[in-house]
Amino acid sequence: MSTVNPAVPAAQVKAVRGFNRFYTQRIGVLDPYLGSDFSLTEVRVLYELAHRDQPTAAELGRDLALDAGYLSRILRRFESRGWLARSPSPADARQSLLMLTDSGHEVFAPLQQRSRDEAAALLAQLAPEQRSRLIEAMETLQRVLDKPGNAPRTVLLRDPRPGDFGWVVQQHGELYLREWGYNEEFEGLVAGIVAKYIENHDPSCEKCWIAEVDGQRAGSVFLVRRSATVAQLRLLILTPEARGLGLGGRLTDECIAFARAMGYRKVVLWTQSHLLAARAIYAARGFRIVKTERNDAYGKQLASETWELKL
């Protein structure tokens, strides 16, 4: 007989079970799914077949966490109705490639539209602000529960939009306080750098990149003009959730490539000796320390460093 993990408070277990009961009832999972003769699992299989490029049964079973025998019975039923076609896999003769037929797509299309309509009806009951809060909560739930490596991360580097600059200042203030104990003076420094960039930005020789991971802001970097021949890399930061994806290197590489394209002869930057991850990124790309000095700032005793890269 299984028992509840004693490390998890009973009140938290009760809260999760209560949410599960509420949500399954709210979206109608316990009713005939989408008013059809299909089970929820069968509709999930139809969805994957409609949106994937000829998967194998093994791939479907793995990704949907379905028993092989159960999935096989579903696929045989679809095939007997003329909704599913198979072709030999050129990579493995023991496997078949699966695809929906035109009849299969005709069966699935109204189910998909009904699902969209039900989701829209649910959201229509909410004010715009409530919808945003709901979607944000759903995305948080998915990110927290999803095991690392379950799915490829969607990474995007883009130009800044309204709201991004405030986010950059906030992230620096919060992360440097939490991880290094910096006080509010550091946030003030960052706010000044960002304000100066906004007021004096010259797009012909300066640029900012915002990194996104799975649609969420995850990092930033700025390249600004110091002189006609020297550019400065500033405000490279990544959220903890985005670390380990190589994003810091990508952002730095974008700065270097842009500087070369704009005709700069050198890129300089200012950092602290304890920021080991950032220093490793710079060193790997050929930056060299040209100056080190003691610096009592932001409530800390720091060893500040100036690095440069000749282009």
pLDDT band at 309 (very low <50, low <70, confident <90, very high): very high
Handedness of CA 147, 149, 155, 160 (dihedral sign): positive
Positive or negative, the Cα torsion across 68, 74, 77, 81? Answer: negative
Q: What is the domain partition of the chain in residue ranges?
A: 10-151, 156-310
Q: Give yes or no for residue 305 having a pLDDT over 80.
A: yes
| Confidence at 171, pLDDT banded by 50, 70, 90 | very high
Q: Which stretch, 140-149, 217-226, 235-244, has highest mean pLDDT? A: 217-226
| pLDDT tens-digit map of 94-145 | 788 888 898 988 988 888 888 788 788 888 888 888 888 888 888 788 777 7
Domain 156-310 CATH class label:
alpha beta
Task: Tell me whether the CATH fold assigned to 10-151 matches the one assigned to 156-310.
Answer: no
Residue 150 has pLDDT above 60, yes or no: no
Question: What is 10-151's CATH number, 3.30.60.50, 2.40.50.100, 3.40.50.1100, 1.10.10.10?
Answer: 1.10.10.10
Rounded to the nearest 5 degrees, what angle is found at the Cα of 220, between the Cα atoms of 291 and 310? 35
Lowest mean pLDDT among 26-30, 228-232, 270-274: 26-30
Percent of the chain with pLDDT strictly greater than 70? 90
> What is the C-alpha separation between 190 and 201, in angstroms, rounded?
16
* Cα 11 from Cα 16, distance rounded (Å): 9
Mean predicted lDDT score pLDDT of the chain: 86
* Predicted local confidence at residue 174, as pLDDT: 94
